[in-house]
Chain A
Amino acid sequence: AQSVTQLGSHVSVSEGALVLLRCNYSSSVPPYLFWYVQYPNQGLQLLLKYTSAATLVKGINGFEAEFKKSETSFHLTKPSAHMSDAAEYFCAVIPSGGYNKLIFGAGTRLAVHP
């Protein structure tokens, strides 16, 4: 079954530093991949998506992710962290033949320190 693995349940960075949140997928076919973000006391919202167009995907709030088939990865990055980026981030995949649902990773909680 297709799934995603997020390395690191907690990541801590300083304000202004690079943000790198890792996601690897298992899939025998090119998948549809997504990053969602959950800010404190809010519902999840879509950050960005990969649907087999450009491999470098730009999302909201300066985040981007690069699809690397050779590494089966879809890591999320942001050049300079802001305090408001503190949240939980979820990588997700649509399983092949299962277009009616998303399969989520365990999530990575990002802390940003001044």
Chain B
Amino acid sequence: GAGVSQSPSNKVTEKGKDVELRCDPISGHTALYWYRQRLGQGLEFLIYFQGNSAPDKSGLPSDRFSAERTGESVSTLTIQRTQQEDSAVYLCASSLERVAILNTGELFFGEGSRLTVL
């Protein structure tokens, strides 16, 4: 499809396990974002990738969280030794480039990956 694709859509895991979430941005979008949405809360910025620049990791909540992006395509968000407080919907978004935020504010979001840590 032409939109941002995320997988899995739902993931249930046990506390202490590692999980990997995947995001396929829109083709040609150089900027990619990860946000976290806990129940009843707003979207929490996690990390941002822009082309070959160093990612902005300022939102990652702990060193258990990491993300990678291959060139300007797929990104994976990895959570190690999951905790119950990691339960949330993890949203990925992409945009043409960073400056697109100034011009349009338009991020294109996927439907999210719902993570439940038991």
Contacts and interface: CB of A to CB of B under 8 A. Distances in A.
Interface of A: 6, 9, 32, 34, 41-46, 49, 51, 90, 92, 94, 99-107
B104 interface: yes
24 contacts: A32-B102, A32-B105, A34-B105, A43-B91, A44-B43, A44-B91, A44-B93, A46-B104, A46-B106, A49-B104, A51-B102, A92-B43, A94-B102, A94-B105, A99-B99, A99-B102, A100-B56, A100-B101, A102-B43, A102-B107, A106-B40, A106-B42, A107-B41, A107-B42
Contact of B101 (A9, A43, A94, A105): A94
Nearest to A49: B105
Interface residues of B, number: 31
* Closest 7 A/B residue pairs (Cβ): A43-B109, A104-B43, A106-B42, A44-B109, A49-B105, A104-B42, A34-B105
B117 interface: no
Contacts, number: 73
A111 B42 CA distance: 18
A43 B48 contact: no
Interface of B: 3-4, 31, 33, 35, 40-45, 48, 50, 56, 59, 91, 93, 98-99, 101-112
Which among B40, B44, B91, B101 has the greatest number of chain A C-beta atoms within 10 A?
B101
Contact of B41 (A94, A100, A106): A106
Given A43-B91, A45-B109, A46-B106, A99 B101 contact: yes
Looking at A34, A101, A105, the one whose CB has the most chain B CB atoms below 10 A away is: A101
Nearest to A95: B45
A100 B50 contact: yes
A43 B110 contact: yes
Contacts of B48: 100-101
Interface centre among B42, B44, B91, B98 (most CB of A within 10 A): B42
A34 B100 CA distance: 13
A104 B104 CA distance: 16
